[in-house]
Structure 1
Amino acid sequence: MAFSARINNTSSVCSLLIICLFLLAFEARMSLASGFVQTRGTHFVLDNSLFLFNGFNAYWMMQVAAQPSQRYKVSNVFREAAAAGLTVCRTWAFSDGGNKLALQISPGVYDENVFQALDFVVSEAAKNKVRLILSLVNNYQDFGGRPQYVDWARNAGIRTSTDDDFYTNVVVKQYYKNHAKKVLTRINTITGVAYKDDPTIMAWELINEPRCQADYSGNTVNAWVQEMASYVKSIDNKHLLEIGMEGFYGDSITDRKQYNPGYQVGTDFIRSNLIKEIDFTTIHAYPDAWLSGQDDDGQMAFMRRWMTSHWTDSRTLLKKPMVFTEFGKSSKDPGFSIASRDSFLSAIYSNIFNLARSGGIGGGLVWQLVSEGMESYSDGYEIDLFQTPSTSSVISQQSRQMTALEHKMSRP
């Protein structure tokens, strides 16, 4: 009996070892098949294959997930987005002071419950095979942003004059670096994986829509981007990095300023995207706000010029891929209808697809998807895929076309 028991125990151990080895091999294959998105020239690649995508913005995810009873809304949007073929989501990894759901309450002080909400967002994205672009701070005072950082320094007795000190003040810059390091080195409480090691994250974004009134040339923002890009890459060189720019041209190539909507905002699309640590370029466009005095045809003509000029510069001068990271049509526009929004999105998607056929653009991210019961997050641009099947159809069609193009261009 004792000998028989030893045989049985040995067999059980061997079986267990075989199962463990199988699971490890399976995990390794799964890890290999879900690697980090990278760039190769003017293309995005994933597992050595071309990566084209259709995506969306949902900046609100962490804040909504911070309320456990509301987390189903995050899950619903990821599930509906995945069903529509959307594979990239851009969202905030910041919420700075001044509100009850702040991630960073004060410099270096974090609300663990809100951080766990961000953990949930990352884990839900992974479940639905959606890659994330995580932005690290806001230009605007919404969710704290750049003004909050300067206020923190001022309250600590540091002499500051304007919000633009965010880009130059040593103390404020250290606040930002500390936050970047905190997020990048965060170990997800759900998956156990550090953010900097998680391929679910496609890229980091330095700042949402940087602007600087103190220096319209773009030089001040450029110096900040260089410093922060180098710092972020020193912590995490696995993930892609982008700035978060809208695309406004600065003083480095003066003739490009003709493509701006009649003004500058203190950034230089060309010069800052030449920084070697920046992996791809981004543009945003809201002609209904930027060119409110023009009719739909004039605004669409601007959009085509805006997209083409940046796509051309990204391919030829910068030699990096581009993503159209924000666009949409507001229900607050005169004469708005679901049909007019669908027509607008179809035109933008057609432009993205046509540019992608020639290489150099990875995809576009519509602003913004929401779930039902989220009226407090309504900004005019919100889209509920479940409630608007015609818009969902337009978005799904673009996803299918981009996927088909990816397969076609990947053939030897």
Structure 2
Amino acid sequence: MKTTPSTGFNLTRRSVLASSAALALAPSAVAHAAPAAGFVTRDGIALKLDGKPYRFVGANAWYLAWLGADADYGDQGRLSRELDALAADGVTNLRVGASAELSPLKNSVRPAFRDQTATYNETLLVGLDRTLVEMASRRMKAVLYLTNFWEWSGGMMTYLSWVNGGRYINMNDPAHPWPEFADFNADFYRSEEAVALYHDYVRAVVGRTNTISGVRYADDPTIMAWQLANEPRAGGGPEVALGNLPAFYAWINGTARLIKSIAPRQLVSTGGEGLKGSSERAEVVIESCRSPDIDYLTAHIWPGNWGWLDREDMAGTDARARALAIDYVSRHIGFARQLGKPLVIEEFGYPRDGDLYDPSVPTTLRDGFYADIHAAVLADARAGGPLVGSNFWAWNGEGRTRNPDFRFHDGDSAWLGDPPHEPQGWYGVFDTDLSTRTLIRKQARALSEL
């Protein structure tokens, strides 16, 4: 996910006891929240679980390994509570960060999973172990991504800085306006040294044995899929991006093949945005997912970041933004049919009313957007199409920023789904967002009844 800052107002703290009240919304939804426990497999345009179609309501919760760590920044009790809340809402699929690179970039998360050395952060990796064990006990499935195109978890720019003498560009640096960050970052795909460091980490994590369960990650059906990165793209400006395509495709195909060689029973996807990360070219979306080692397509939808929604006039531009979003979904369903593979809308987000951040602000327009995405998934499922699920961005749960400027500060451990480069509370769903959670439960129930 990538974003630009906005404005908010003073924080109103909410008691975590409100979470218990929220869980009372629809008690009957809990019964359908647990799918079977086998590996998720691909069968043409469908995902299957124990021989039955696997369709899901999912969430992004990138920070769960940090919560699971036995460290001052962890909170294992909260990890359990958040998973309980999500399971009660019918959420069965979580997209979770399995990487972060210790970075000189502004707004990058700390601590990280790794630095430039081959000694990885075992405390954080055990936090990931614990997350998977806790998810397994609730029969949830995980999608784990292995690096990031954007700065907020270090990502590709950090890998480049480790091999190019320390050179890097900060995102949103006025001296290097867009698309300089993305164009510079795309050098990653052509850097044999940077990709080799990344592949070392891929081998270590995909080949890891869980220290709590004793199960190899590659043998753990809790892991539905590995993703090459969060939102990889070949560059920012069309000229650079199109020139980078051979290296980009080679990186995708080589990394997917590497993961499959270690974990052949688990799925692989790119983690890409779709058209918006492909220079708006259908052929790039198709080619980046053509490899037989890429099992399904992904699409991300950000009306407020892409200029579809005017965040200073949300009410006046909401209808247009939502219409464009549904068209975006429809086009990606077409790409999935062309490739004969499933599709997941694995990121979609919308601001709170007025583009504000406080949990007390209503989510009227967001709820309408969520309802549209859910309706598209449900309609395609009923038609036997390739759109198998969606993961909203993101679950904040009981997390609340402690900072009046709504910004993430070094040392913060009040983890939210809004990453460190974003205002805390911008897109995330809080445990007190009862109307949104009702929509999520309704969608989970509808999918379970197909």
Coarse TM-score class (shorter-chain normalised): 0.7 to 0.9
Could you tell me which residue of structure 2 aligns to residue 55 of structure 1? 58
Mapping for residues 17-28 of structure 1, pairs under 5 Å: none
Provide the C-alpha distance between the structure 2 equivalents of 1:141 and 1:152, rounded to a whole number of angstroms. Answer: 14
Could you tell me which residue of structure 1 aligns to residue 387 of structure 2? 361
More displaced stretch, 363-372 vs 242-251: 242-251
Q: Alignment partner for residue 205 of structure 1, among 227, 230, 236?
A: 227
| Structure 2: gaps spanning 5 or more residues | 1-34, 104-108, 168-182, 311-316, 402-407, 409-415, 417-423
Q: CA deviation at 1:334?
A: 4.4
Is the Cα–Cα contact under 8 Å of residues 288 and 333 in structure 1 kept in the other structure?
Answer: no
Could you tell me which residue of structure 2 aligns to residue 223 of structure 1? 250
| Partner amino acid, structure 2, of 1:397 | K
Partner secondary structure for residue 216 of structure 1: helix
Q: Alignment partner for residue 363 of structure 2, among 334, 338, 352?
A: 338
Provide the C-alpha distance between the structure 2 equivalents of 1:272 and 1:95, rounded to a whole number of angstroms. Answer: 24
2:61 matched to 1:45?
no
Could you tell me which residue of structure 2 aligns to residue 303 of structure 1? 325
Q: CA deviation at 1:246?
A: 0.3
2:107 matched to 1:80?
no
Is the Cα–Cα contact under 8 Å of residues 274 and 332 in structure 2 kept in the other structure?
Answer: yes
Q: CA deviation at 1:162?
A: 3.3
| Partner amino acid, structure 2, of 1:350 | A
2:303 matched to 1:282?
no
Change in 2 beyond 3 A, CA 1:73/1:371: farther
Is the Cα–Cα contact under 8 Å of residues 89 and 133 in structure 1 kept in the other structure?
Answer: yes
| Partner amino acid, structure 2, of 1:54 | V
TM-score, scaled relative to structure 1? 0.82
Mapping for residues 100-139 of structure 1, pairs under 5 Å: 100-139=110-149
Q: CA deviation at 1:163?
A: 2.5
Provide the C-alpha distance between the structure 2 equivalents of 1:292 and 1:384, rounded to a whole number of angstroms. Answer: 25
More displaced stretch, 198-207 vs 372-381: 372-381
Q: Alignment partner for residue 328 of structure 1, among 327, 349, 353?
A: 349
Q: Can you list the C-alpha shifts for 1:217-272, whole angstroms capped at 9, x where unaligned?
A: 64432221011111111111110000011001788xxxxx7xx4xxx7x9921111
Could you tell me which residue of structure 2 aligns to residue 193 of structure 1? 215
Provide the C-alpha distance between the structure 2 equivalents of 1:337 and 1:299, rounded to a whole number of angstroms. Answer: 19
Q: Can you list the C-alpha shifts for 1:330-357, whole angstroms capped at 9, x where unaligned?
A: 1275487322222221121111111121
Could you tell me which residue of structure 2 aligns to residue 27 of structure 1? none
Is the Cα–Cα contact under 8 Å of residues 219 and 267 in structure 1 kept in the other structure?
Answer: no
| Structure 1: gaps spanning 5 or more residues | 1-31, 252-256, 406-412
Is the Cα–Cα contact under 8 Å of residues 229 and 271 in structure 2 kept in the other structure?
Answer: yes
| Matched residues, number | 358
Change in 2 beyond 3 A, CA 1:92/1:250: closer
Partner secondary structure for residue 274 of structure 2: coil
Is the Cα–Cα contact under 8 Å of residues 246 and 283 in structure 1 kept in the other structure?
Answer: yes
Q: Can you list the C-alpha shifts for 1:20-74, whole angstroms capped at 9, x where unaligned?
A: xxxxxxxxxxxx9521100101000011111111110001111232336512222
Larger % of helix: which? 1
Is the Cα–Cα contact under 8 Å of residues 222 and 268 in structure 1 kept in the other structure?
Answer: no
2:372 matched to 1:347?
yes
Provide the C-alpha distance between the structure 2 equivalents of 1:374 and 1:198, rounded to a whole number of angstroms. Answer: 32
Partner secondary structure for residue 96 of structure 2: strand
Partner secondary structure for residue 105 of structure 1: coil
Is the Cα–Cα contact under 8 Å of residues 253 and 291 in structure 2 kept in the other structure?
Answer: yes
Instruction: State percent identity of aligned pairs.
Output: 30
Could you tell me which residue of structure 1 aligns to residue 37 of structure 2? 34
2:249 matched to 1:237?
no
Is the Cα–Cα contact under 8 Å of residues 308 and 324 in structure 2 kept in the other structure?
Answer: no
Is the Cα–Cα contact under 8 Å of residues 353 and 363 in structure 2 kept in the other structure?
Answer: no
Could you tell me which residue of structure 2 aligns to residue 65 of structure 1? 68
| Partner amino acid, structure 1, of 2:347 | E
Mapping for residues 257-268 of structure 1, pairs under 5 Å: 260=280, 268=284
Q: CA deviation at 1:293?
A: 5.6
TM-align CA RMSD: 2.4
TM-score, scaled relative to structure 2? 0.75
| Partner amino acid, structure 2, of 1:282 | T
Provide the C-alpha distance between the structure 1 equivalents of 2:189 and 2:353, rounded to a whole number of angstroms. Answer: 34
Is the Cα–Cα contact under 8 Å of residues 332 and 380 in structure 1 kept in the other structure?
Answer: no
Is the Cα–Cα contact under 8 Å of residues 250 and 267 in structure 1 kept in the other structure?
Answer: no
More displaced stretch, 294-303 vs 183-192: 294-303
Is the Cα–Cα contact under 8 Å of residues 245 and 283 in structure 1 kept in the other structure?
Answer: yes
Q: Can you list the C-alpha shifts for 1:269-307, whole angstroms capped at 9, x where unaligned?
A: 111111111000000010121024651111111111100
Is the Cα–Cα contact under 8 Å of residues 167 and 221 in structure 1 kept in the other structure?
Answer: yes
Provide the C-alpha distance between the structure 2 equivalents of 1:267 and 1:137, rounded to a whole number of angstroms. Answer: 24
